[in-house]
Amino acid sequence: MTVYDYSMSTVAARAGTEVDTAYNSMGIPIYMTNNYLFDNVSGGAEACRSPEFGDCYTRVSNPTNNELGKAMASLEGCEAGLPFATGAAATSTLALALLKSGDHVVCDDTTYSATNYLFSTLLAKYGVEATFLDFTDYEALRAAMRPNTRLVFFETPCNPTMKVIDIAEVAGIVKACGGAKDSGATGGDGAKDSGATGGDGAKDGGATGSDGAKDSGAEDSGSNGGTITVVDNTFSTPFITRPKELGIDIVMHSSTKYICGHGDAMGGILTGSRGLIDTIMDVGLKNLGGTASPFNSFLMLRGLKTLELRMERHCKMAMAVAKYLDGHPKIERVYYPGLASHPGHETAKKQMSAFGGLLTFELKGGMNAGVTLMDNLKLCALAVSLGEANTLVQHPASMTHWYVPEEARRASGITDGLIRFSTGLESTDDILTDLEETLKLV
């Protein structure tokens, strides 16, 4: 029995505490090393073939990174987990490892900008076609599935309109639609040989996460034998939503956000079956190199210790702010899944244990009113990103979504007056007072 066999609260609080057998330190050591000393040539030869036999080179395997993978796998209810340098690196590595020319991707129409660009533009250059649609339209989703659909990707709740997608419904549709049954999902031939660290070999081992049954990526390339479902669970974290339990194959995180929690380290994480994660490591990470810094993995493990408590606090403040703004005469509309008026409220109740720390709202005075508010807030900080101790406000139309053509922006609900609000860990009363005082100027 290890710490990862306990309940989620214990796993998060104790992750990494069993690693240091040399000195029994309670904190996990930060293994800032690029390489590892071999006892002899045959030991080195084995480690270079697979992390199962030992660490060889940190791009592929590192004890601090491995521990973060194990912890996140346990929290998401998955067999294995793999950290990356950023969330964007996690998504792009997954896509390049699992897709090949001729494959088809179905993606929700509201995903993080880099995710959308990857599927709409970058992968199109290499013969991967993508269909974008609103995943709350189940008929449209069903109709979009093709025999060569390899990947179905979505986030929930979606930035910035807080659309909530029914995870179990999507997983069920993908499963029912069948799809290609061959093993092409794991990429082209010969892609698995990394010059720096050795060639093919057994593809399991400590490098990619927790214990459990080990299967081949090809065989378990998706719940229907061919199509792999991926949920970006960044906004919820496993303490609010556990997509794997709802039928999803891979859970992705930008750990830059709530997992880190302090706004001081970037990271990404994928969790899934041993076979899929090993394939993504062996075909993708090993050759593409978007590896997490062990120092950042240490910070993520530290973040996990308080994740549950922080999420409770973020969610509580978000609910209070949403209710306050919802009744305010200068506010046109509030988007928060916790409000009964939100279109995704019933779905959110089904699959979320709380409603998250993010909300968006529109002022009656549109863009000018929004600028006045954001330029005058004293405590809420004007900055992008989310999931930190600071409450953050930003203006999607001019900041995070400036490059989206106006028509497309409006179609996805991003009006010029929309403001995104990421609740921090300050006193809710102080934040409400900041809002109240500043709204008087609008």
Shortest Cβ distance from residue 85 to ligand PLP (Å)?
8
Q: Which residue has the tokens 């299967």?
A: 215
**Cβ nearer to ligand PLP, comparing 51 with 267:** 267
Quote the CA–CA distance of 72 and 231 in Å, as a whole number.
14
Q: How far is the CB of 249 from ligand PLP (least distance, A)?
A: 17
Question: Least distance in Å: CB of 190 to ligand PLP?
Answer: 29
Q: Which is nearer to ligand PLP, 87 or 396 (CB)?
A: 87
Nearer to ligand PLP, 145 or 260 (CB): 260
Q: Which residues contact 129 (CB under 8 A, 6 or more apart)?
A: 103, 104, 105
Cα-to-chain-centroid distance, residue 428: 27
What is residue 282's DSSP assignment?
A: I
Cα 104 to Cα 39, 109, 127, 133, 136, distances in angstroms? 46, 15, 9, 14, 20
Q: How is residue 437 written in tokens? A: 């005082």
Q: Based on CB atoms, which residue is closest to ligand PLP, 65 or 86?
A: 86
Residue 93 Cβ, how far from ligand PLP at the closest point, in Å?
12
Q: What does residue 239 show for φ and ψ, rounded to 5 degrees?
A: -75, -15
Q: Is 251 within 8 Å of 244 (Cβ atoms)?
A: yes
Of residues 157 and 198, the one with the C-beta less far from ligand PLP = 157
Q: Which CB atom, from 62 or from 86, has the smaller least distance to ligand PLP?
A: 86
Q: What is the DSSP string of 196-262?
A: TTB------SGGG---S----TTTTSSTTSSPEEEEE-TTT-TTT--GGGGT-SEEEEETTTTTT-S
Rounded least distance, CB 232 to ligand PLP, Å:
5
Closest residue to ligand PLP in the complex (CB): 87
- Beta carbon of residue 58, minimum distance to ligand PLP (angstroms, whole number): 20
DSSP β-ladder status, 381-382 and 392-394: parallel
CB-CB neighbours of 80 under 10 Å: 29
E strand residue ranges, 109-203: 129-133, 149-155
How many CB atoms within 10 Å of residue 154? 24
- Between 113 and 372, name the residue whose CB sits nearer to ligand PLP: 113
**Least Å from the CB of residue 213 to ligand PLP:** 29
Residues that bind ligand PLP (CB under 6 A): 86-88, 112, 114, 155, 159, 232, 234, 254, 256, 266, 268
